[in-house]
Amino acid sequence: MHVITGGGTGIGRALALSLARDGHDVLIAGRRAAPLEAVAQEGATAGGGTITAVACDLSTPQGVRALAERAGTKVDSLVHCAGGNPAIGRPASATLEEEAALLEETLAGNLVSAALTVTALQGAMGEGSAIVLLGSIAAEHGVGYYGPAKAAVASYAVGLSAALGPRGIRVTCLSPGYISGTEFFAGTMTEERAEALRSQTAFGRTGEPEDAVDVLRFLLSERSRHLTGQNIHLDGGAFTTR
């Protein structure tokens, strides 16, 4: 069983359909039932694997418990796509209380959800399994609270790789740049902004969910057996590392 959080849309949806097409059984999670059910239906016609869905809020212990119950006792991989930037499309805070709520929501959706999901599922994972947490190029640029939250996710993955390595479990953080065809920007992306982001890449091209799927399929496979504890940037060279 492969568990993909945030599997109803964007990168998680594309990964779920890719795995199902190749005969794998997949469990997807998100807060809204409708997009999850649509992906499960699509998966039913895609190939030999199944996609089952559980609607739950992974920033809460009860939501994560619901996911863990459905996942059962054998989890081959966990890809944590659930997350996002709640500041997008929201007016600037008028009060300290509103600012505190935004900060808490951002950390809860990204860092807390990753930590709770891993905590609940890691007991069902064994030798050769893989965890991938979605970070972001925003961690390098410090975008609002979202960048710091994704930096924390990447740091969490480092400690986790050391803790789970002795059990043969690989842990990586995949940090994309701009990926189109997702709900991340909640309809706020303009042609001008998309062009500006495209021009920051070495290829002058926009990333797509399938670009992430190809890297994720490698990270879930035995071909990445000696790869753990890394933050992998997937951004067409928009942010380079050495």
Ligand X SMILES: NC(=O)c1ccc[n+]([C@@H]2O[C@H](COP(=O)([O-])OP(=O)(O)OC[C@H]3O[C@@H](n4cnc5c(N)ncnc54)[C@H](OP(=O)(O)O)[C@@H]3O)[C@@H](O)[C@H]2O)c1
Among 27, 179, 213, 216, binds ligand X (CB under 6 A): 179
Handedness of CA 227, 242, 204, 148 (dihedral sign): positive
Catalytic residue from among 77, 150, 156, 175? 150
- Which DSSP string do the residues of 119-160 spell out, in sequence order? HHHGGG--TT-EEEEE--THHHHT-TTHHHHHHHHHHHHHHH
x/- contact string, 132-151, with ligand X (CB under 6 A)?
--x-x---------------
- Measured from the CB atom, is 30 or 236 closer to ligand X? 30
> Residue 167, SS3?
helix
Write out the two tokens for 65: 């418990």
Among 182, 198, 228, 232, binds ligand X (CB under 6 A): 182
CA 59 from chain centre, in angstroms, equals: 13
The verdict on 43 binding ligand X (CB under 6 A) reads no
Question: Which amino acid appears at position 166 of this protein?
Answer: P
The verdict on 81 binding ligand X (CB under 6 A) reads yes
Catalytic residue from among 59, 77, 129, 136? 136
The verdict on 9 binding ligand X (CB under 6 A) reads yes
Is 175 a catalytic site residue? no
CB 235 within 8 A of CB 198: no
Least distance in angstroms from the C-beta of 93 to ligand X: 20
Is 145 a catalytic site residue? no
Rounded Cα distance, 187 and 68, in Å: 32
Catalytic machinery residues: 136, 146, 150
Binding site for ligand X (CB under 6 A): 5-6, 8-12, 29-32, 57-59, 81-84, 109, 113, 134, 136, 176, 178-179, 182-184
